[in-house]
Amino acid sequence: MVATDAAGEGINLQFCRYLINWDIPWNPNRLEQRMGRIHRYGQKDDVWVYNLVAQNTREGAVLQKVLSKLDIMRDQMGSDRVYDVIDEWLEGVPLAELMQKAFDNDDTTELTEKLNEATKEKAEALIALQKKTSLASRLNLRAAQELRDKSDERRLQPLFIQRFFERAWIACGGTIRKDDHFPVWHISRPPTALFEIASKQRVALSEHYDYPIVFDKQFVSIASKVSIPDRTKLMGPGHSLFNILIEWAIAEAHHAFARGTILTDPNIGSPQKIWITRSVIRDDREDRQKNIAHNQLTLIVLDHMGLRVTSPSYLLNCLPAEGGGDLATEDRSPEEIQMYAYEEITEKLLVKVRKDRTEDCDVRREYLNTAFQDLILDLQEELNDFQQQSLYGDDTAEETEKLRKRIEDLKLRKIDRMKELDLMLNLSGELPEILSQALIIPSPIAVTVDRGASSGVPMKRDDEVEAIAMDVSMRYEKTRGWSPVDVSSDGEHYDIRSEAPDGDKRFIEVKGRSETGPIILTGPELDKLRQLGSRAWLYIVTFCKSDRPSLRIIQDPIPKFNPEMLYRQVQFLVVESDWASQGEDATA
């Protein structure tokens, strides 16, 4: 793209990686601003900056000296941070004045002398001061990286959004079709039921959505390499039509949620009961909307192993039951479930939230102290000036009184903000609320994987084989010097999160076979492995019940496979010839 200097600030251009400065500004800080448009968060490639300077002109010779000085300093420091302190680093170097002198007499001696005053030591001192005074210097970068990794792992995938919209839209009475030429969809006029909900909530819906829609924001990015029609819009959370469809789905499901329901999980071998609970941590502020420090939905499962906690995302493995079940058979009372949820979820959550809130409030308190102190000192200096003027006969009574009032207001505001921080530190956990319950039953026609695959027949896992496969995979990771964590019960849709000493991570799905043959992946497992890309690994352990199990590991497996749907969009089959030719043998 071609832009004037107006594009030098205030816009995000990280989809570009080359910056060519045709017109060089005299102020080097403007150069830094231009670089900041493309060298920013979200940039996936190395950034290259080219400055075009006409060296056979006086102006070009001056600019060449300045730019060369910056390059030398960057090379000496081994960092681009010199560009962050250009203004302060070149303070005392009057570039405009020196350039004018160079134009008049073709002498750059004075410019060279002034530039020599901008030393490496001065730049390093300025960068150190910037780090010290910056709020970002208080951040735990390792924790920030962990937070970003968790966000990448758990972000709402476009495929989930698409599936929800398609199923809910059709259930509501609408129609949707995929375009014949582009990866976009077209929808019908919104069903009447949506207009009724929108009217109650005073939300405007269009009579016709005649533009194409997509569910992945990457398609509507100006950096997208996929061709789509110009009028294509993103459909997802935040779009008024999508939000109203959510409200319709909640209203339709309200009765089932209130009384409980029966679902099928084709992967399990015995029935289990689940409860969806909500745990809330609040602080002591009066506003009930503001005082929620943390709010978490959790799934409590009761099976042959007893009670355990997992993620609500487990429900993605489930389907409406084809047969019946005895929902009334209840092994735990609501009070028992609430107490279990409080002890196993809320109390642990309270410890974590208290730690995070303390760190956050410490940073806020330091910042507020400094900010209020600086503001009050500035006003106090103005007040002293007015008082000095009054000694010489000037009438400053009105201005003096206004300043005194502003200073007092600031002091009171500071007290209020500090009291609010104290209230934010007083945390307590509420008794968890049970939102719904369900009976999860195995499919009555499911067979184990080792008995052979047949289209339309679900397969249930062999818990003994899976346990052996997990043990083999965990031991393999430890021999590599990594730190594996079993997350198979956390509803993550992969089994092991393994971290290297340098912080690198593997997200591992483990599949076991008593001998060898095809493997089964659930729909959510496929989606998760696809989402994690090169950080996703599939560990397949065969001959699990023998004295020497075999291990094959495959990085980023989904693009390498051709999974066949086995059962109702929740189980997919990968034949042995498909996976056995991929990855590497890691048998010890």
* pLDDT tens across the length of the chain (588 residues): 787 777 777 777 877 888 888 877 766 667 777 877 887 777 778 888 887 877 777 667 777 777 776 676 666 555 555 555 555 555 555 556 656 666 666 666 666 666 665 555 665 665 565 555 555 445 555 666 676 677 666 667 788 899 899 999 999 999 999 999 999 999 999 999 999 999 999 999 999 999 999 999 888 877 778 899 989 999 999 999 999 999 999 888 877 777 778 888 888 888 899 999 999 999 999 988 889 999 999 999 998 888 999 988 888 888 888 665 554 455 789 999 999 999 999 999 999 999 999 999 998 999 899 889 988 998 888 888 888 888 877 787 888 888 899 999 999 999 999 999 999 999 999 999 998 888 998 876 655 555 555 555 566 778 899 999 999 999 999 999 999 999 988 888 899 999 999 888 999 999 999 999 999 998 889 988 988 889 999 999 999 999 999 999 999 999 999 999 887 778 899 999 999 999 999 987
Q: Give the pLDDT confidence score for residue 328 in this predicted structure.
A: 47
Q: Give the pLDDT confidence score for residue 88 in this predicted structure.
A: 57
Q: Give the pLDDT confidence score for residue 534 in this predicted structure.
A: 92
Q: How far apart are CA 99 and CA 105, in angstroms?
A: 10
Estimate to the nearest angstrom the gap between the alpha carbon of 25 and the chain centroid. 37
Question: Backbone dihedral region of 100: left (phi > 0), alpha (psi from -120 to 50 degrees) or beta?
Answer: alpha
Q: Whole-model pTM?
A: 0.67
Q: Diameter of the chain by CA atoms? A: 103
Backbone angles phi, psi at 51, to 5 degrees: -105, 115
Neighbours of 409 (CB within 10 A): 10
Q: How far apart are CA 112 and CA 97, in angstroms?
A: 13
Q: How far apart are CA 469 and CA 539, in angstroms?
A: 9
User: Regarding beta strands 319-320 and 459-460, do their DSSP bridges make them parallel or antiparallel, or are they unpaired?
Assistant: unpaired
Convert the pLDDT of each residue in 351-388 to its tens digit: 999 999 999 999 899 989 988 998 899 888 888 888 88
Q: Give the pLDDT confidence score for residue 132 in this predicted structure.
A: 52
Q: Give the pLDDT confidence score for residue 389 in this predicted structure.
A: 83
Q: Give the pLDDT confidence score for residue 326 in this predicted structure.
A: 53
Instruction: Measure Cα distances from 89 to 22, 93, 250, 319, 524 in Å.
Output: 24, 9, 59, 64, 53
Q: Give the pLDDT confidence score for residue 95 in this predicted structure.
A: 58
Which residues, in sequence order, are bridge partners of residue 277?
A: 298, 434
SS3 543: coil
Q: How far apart are CA 336 and CA 342, in angstroms?
A: 10
Instruction: Measure Cα distances from 51 to 5, 23, 200, 279, 445 in Å.
Output: 14, 8, 59, 56, 70
Convert the pLDDT of each residue in 423-437 to its tens digit: 999 999 999 999 888
Neighbouring C-alpha atoms within 13 Å toward the C-beta of 143: 6
Residues with Cβ within 8 Å of residue 518, at least 6 apart in sequence: 449, 453, 573, 574, 575, 576
Q: Give the pLDDT confidence score for residue 90 in this predicted structure.
A: 57
Q: In 426-514, which ranges are continuous DSSP H helix?
A: 463-479
